Amino acid sequence: MELLRSAEREKRADENAESSPARKKVRLDERNENGPSAEEHSPAENLQDEVDTEMQLPPSSLSNQPIAAMDGDEPIAAASTSAIPISENTAPLSKNALKKKLKAEAWQVKKLEKRAIERENKKKRKADRRERVANGEEVEPVSTKRRKPDGESVKPFNGQVILELAFDELMYEKEVVSLNNQLAMCYNSMRFSISPIPLLCTSFSGRLATRMNTVQAKTHERWQGMSFKTESMEELIEDGTLERDKIVYLTADSNNVIEALEEGHTYVIGAIVDKNRYKNLCYDRAKKLKIAHAQLPIGKYLAEMTSRKILTVNHVYDILLRWAESKDWAAAISTVMPQRKLQEGGKKQKKKARKAENKASNGELVIEDSGSEDGEEEEQDQAASMQPLPSESQETTAPSTSKLDQSVAREREVETIKTMQADLAQLPSESVLKPVASLSKEGQAETVQTEAVDKDLNEQNN
């Protein structure tokens, strides 16, 4: 910093030397000899330069004098600028910035060394495992990683799946993010399938399109086999891109069941994340478009599943891909179906089991009501959740006792009052006490008030 301040002082001194009266006189002589040039300043500007020059100190006053330091430090001797390499474009790094830069460089070197050591250890572990497997000490593990198939084994299915994105206004912001993730999962499943089904996303607009174009940096434009169009289903049907007779809308509300996927047909999946808030949404959409509708044969091949048949977008597409590979609905559905839907009882039975466990842990009596329906319990839970919470100003009251307990308490209080009256009657007549007892409406005894004669007390004091 000291060298930098001295360099700035030297630079200012050079500028003052250029604008000194002696230098101005030399330039004036050169002008008289060569004549005025087009680059000369106007008379007003020259006058202002002369005024500024008179106000500045001569260069001799700055040379060979110490430069005053800041904050009361000792004077700093003038130094030459040749010892400091100063770049006009880039400012010099501060002490902290230089430390951070050196630390980052050291971390990069250390990271490369660490990665090399990790690779060597990984190779060593693999060699040791192969040796143990060869000696029969360990069974070779089965890899569960799904690998991308070779180009020769891939046979695309002659059909198409449409993801209709026309429900942007019906979703919350977090549901739009979830739908974005489901689209990425669909593309990933198509990449690793040996019978990929091309995907077409219609009505690509709104918050989903904005997110995929900004947050996701338009990565969807590089997805091969998956295209996006802003046109709606109605527009694609009207212009002849889609044939109305070969379109099937997949919805769990339909009474029709798909037996097999037909080549040359288009199957539509309603791309929405709504937690089943909107009933018959895709079914009504298919009726509006005047196209066929059907549901997957989940109930036929998974009759033991008691939960809802509503699946996510990527799960429906995965089932279609699995069927295209194996032509077996049972294998396709059982492989893709989430395990939580295959568990016996579902969420409501789990909720009952948790309540029973909590009561048992608290020592309460657990009464199982097998005849109660799930709907009644759900209504009771909803009614309990709708009850208003007590206000802060409202005082908490103790639980009320039974009528038998209240009558026993009254009898005890009456006996206590009679005993007190008998004790007061045995006192001398000089200090007569007047007991006053009153019972409240609830039968509780109030405090007994006594009045003593002040005259006896005064006489004893005298």
Spatial CB neighbours of 73, under 8 Å, sequence gap ≥ 6? none
d(CA 134, CA 136): 5
Burial (CB count within 10 angstroms: exposed 0-12, middle 13-18, buried 19+), residue 22: exposed
Known catalytic membership, residue 73: no
Residue 394 DSSP class = S
Contact call for residues 194 and 151 (beta carbons, < 8 A): no
Length of the chain: 462
d(CA 170, CA 207): 11
Kindly list the distances between the CA atom of residue 119 and the CA atoms of 112, 116, 122, in Å, as whole numbers in the listed order.
11, 5, 5
d(CA 270, CA 286): 10
Amino acid identity, position 154: V
Backbone phi, psi, residue 199, to 5°: -115, 140
Q: What is residue 288's three-state secondary structure?
A: helix
Q: Which of 128, 239, 274, 369 is catalytic?
A: 274
How many CA atoms does the CB half-sphere of 385 hold within 13 Å?
6
Positive or negative, the CA dihedral 5, 9, 12, 14 is negative
Nearest to 253 by CA among 201, 301, 308: 308
Kindly list the distances between the CA atom of residue 53 and the CA atoms of 15, 165, 299, in Å, as whole numbers in the listed order.
11, 73, 97
d(CA 170, CA 279): 12
d(CA 9, CA 39): 29
Positive or negative, the CA dihedral 257, 260, 265, 271 is positive
Q: Could you give the residue numbers annotated as active site?
A: 274
